[in-house]
Amino acid sequence: STPNGSDMLPEDFLRLALWHRVGPLVFQADFAQRVPFQGRVDRVHEHLEKVYYATAAQNLKIFHELQKILTLFSDAKIPVIVLKGCHLIPALYRSPALRPLSDIDLLVSPAYLDAASLCMNLLGYRQEEAIFQSKWMERYWNRIALHLPPFRRHDYAVVEIHGEIRHRDRRQIPNDRIWSTAI
């Protein structure tokens, strides 16, 4: 049985690890080797190993693209702060394979949003406006959105450029406070 005393099939364990996006962490910790699956550990371990290396490859591709974006922003004198996963991986994880990335989140001062959009277009990215079922939904999204419409390019991560950051209760954090404390 598993550590909590329940019987879990390897397929269930694998499905849960992948759903929670912790497959690479489970592989790195070699946790699957310590959970008795009545001789079926090898399949789980092999699948988690594939997920680990696929995550590493995908993340390295995203970091390569992030570097191109940051270089172009720097050349254009656009101040930028890297947010969320792309910031957390080098700061907290020992390997780029341990946290799956799905997008690039950047904070750009509102005064530079147009210039940032132009730079993204130079890199071949295009914005896709959201399609809403009603005008009410569109107005609501535009009021709560924390970023420009996402930038997309074939086979690359989505890039979200934020012009502000808000607290969980939706209060805006003053931009001057953010930029004055940025490293």
Q: Give DSSP secondary structure letters for the chain.
A: --TTS----HHHHHHHHHHTT-HHHHHHHTHHHHS--TT-HHHHHHHHHHHHHHHHHHHHHHHHHHHHHHHHHHHTT--EEEEHHHHHHHHH-SSTTSS---EEEEEE-GGGHHHHHHHHHHTT-EE-PPP-SSHHHHHHHHHH--BSSPEE-TTS-EEEEES-EE-TTSPEEPHHHHHHH--
Comparing 30 with 108, the larger pLDDT belongs to 108
Taking residues 95-103, report their average pLDDT: 90
Comparing 102 with 10, the larger pLDDT belongs to 102
Report residue 121's pLDDT band, with 50, 70 and 90 as the boundaries. very high
Highest mean pLDDT among 45-49, 55-59, 171-175: 55-59
Report residue 14's pLDDT band, with 50, 70 and 90 as the boundaries. confident
pLDDT digits (tens, 9 = 90+) for 23-40: 888 888 876 556 655 556
According to the model, what pLDDT value does residue 5 have?
Answer: 46
Taking residues 83-96, report their average pLDDT: 88
According to the model, what pLDDT value does residue 29 have?
Answer: 81
Taking residues 100-112, report their average pLDDT: 92
Report residue 141's pLDDT band, with 50, 70 and 90 as the boundaries. low
Taking residues 130-140, report their average pLDDT: 70
Mean pLDDT of the chain: 82
Token digits of residue 63: 């970091």
Taking residues 83-106, report their average pLDDT: 90
pLDDT over 50 (residue 107): yes
pLDDT over 80 (residue 146): no
According to the model, what pLDDT value does residue 1 have?
Answer: 44
